[in-house]
C-alpha cells in the first residue's frame, strides 16, 4: 500500500489494447498501477503459435520485467497465480510461455493457474480445441496447481441455478471470481489448513503431473 491505498500485486497482460482500456475505464481501473498494464498492438488472432512463438514472445520480456519488480517488492514470495483461458491465442499461447519463463526464473516458487477450459457447446472459435490441447501439455510440465474452470459448467450454473436466460461474460466472470475467492480464502485469512500454496499442493496433488483440480 502506497499513499494509504491498497494496490493489487497484479500484472495485466494482453496482446491487444482493447481489454486493457475496458479495465482502466471500469470501476476498479484506478486500483491498479498504470505500469502493470502490459499490452501489445497486434493481437494473437486466436492462434496459439502467435501467442507462444511470435507476437507473445516479443512481449514476454517486458512482462517479465514487471513480474520481477513485483516479486522484488515481496517479503516472502510464495508463488504465482495466473488467470487465463485456454481457448484463445493470448491466454493459451502467451500464458503458457509466461508460465515457462517464470518457472525458469523462479524454479523454487509455486505456480498456480486458473485456467478456463473451452467447450464445444459454448464455443467462440473453431480452433479452441487446438489451443487448449497445446496448452495442457505446457501446464502438465510447468504448473504446480491448475484449477480447471469449465466454460460449459459456468453457463449451466448461470442458466439452471441463477435462472439467467442469456448469461453475459460479466455473469460468467462473476462466478469465476467467486470460485477464485473461495479457493484462495485459506491463503488470505488466518487458519491451519492449506495456509499457503505449497500446503495446498501437498494436500491435493498425489503425483506431480496430476495437479488439475475441478472447481
Q: Are 106 and 112 in contact (CB under 8 A)?
A: no
**Given this model, what pLDDT does residue 124 score?**
85
The span from the CA of 35 to the CA of 138, in Å, is: 28
Which DSSP letter does residue 126 get?
T
For the chain, list the domains and their CATH numbers: 12-214 (3.40.50.1440)
Closest C-alpha among 106, 109, 207, 204 to residue 148 = 204
Please tell me the pTM assigned to this model: 0.94
With a pLDDT cut of 90, the percent of the chain lying above it is 93
On average, the pLDDT of the chain sits at: 95
What confidence score (pLDDT) does residue 2 get? Answer: 58
User: CA torsion, points 29, 135, 40, 72, in degrees to nearest 10?
Assistant: 60
Amino acid at each position: 500500500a502506497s499513499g494509504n491505498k491498497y494496490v493489487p500485486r497484479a500484472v495485466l497482460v494482453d496482446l491487444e489494447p482493447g481489454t486493457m482500456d475496458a479495465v482502466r475505464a471500469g470501476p476498479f481501473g484506478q486500483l491498479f498501477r498504470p505500469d502493470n498494464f502490459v499490452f501489445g498492438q497486434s493481437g494473437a488472432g486466436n492462434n496459439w503459435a502467435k501467442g507462444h512463438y511470435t507476437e507473445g514472445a516479443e512481449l514476454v520480456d517486458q512482462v517479465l520485467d514487471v513480474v520481477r519488480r513485483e516479486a522484488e517488492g515481496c517479503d516472502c514470495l510464495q508463488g504465482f497465480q495466473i488467470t487465463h483461458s485456454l481457448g484463445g491465442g493470448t491466454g493459451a499461447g502467451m500464458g503458457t510461455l509466461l508460465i515457462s519463463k517464470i518457472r525458469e526464473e523462479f524454479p523454487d516458487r509455486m505456480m498456480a493457474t486458473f485456467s478456463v477450459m473451452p467447450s464445444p457447446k459454448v464455443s467462440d472459435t473453431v480452433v479452441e480445441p487446438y489451443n487448449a490441447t497445446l496448452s495442457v501439455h505446457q501446464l502438465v510440465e510447468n504448473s504446480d496447481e491448475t484449477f480447471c474452470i469449465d466454460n460449459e459448467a459456468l453457463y449451466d450454473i448461470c442458466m439452471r441455478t441463477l435462472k439467467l436466460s442469456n448469461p453475459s461474460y460479466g455473469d460468467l466472470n462473476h462466478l469465476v471470481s467467486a470460485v477464485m475467492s473461495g479457493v484462495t480464502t485459506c491463503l488470505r485469512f488466518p487458519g491451519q489448513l492449506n495456509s499457503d500454496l505449497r500446503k495446498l499442493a501437498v494436500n491435493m496433488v498425489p503425483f506431480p503431473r496430476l495437479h488439475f483440480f475441478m472447481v
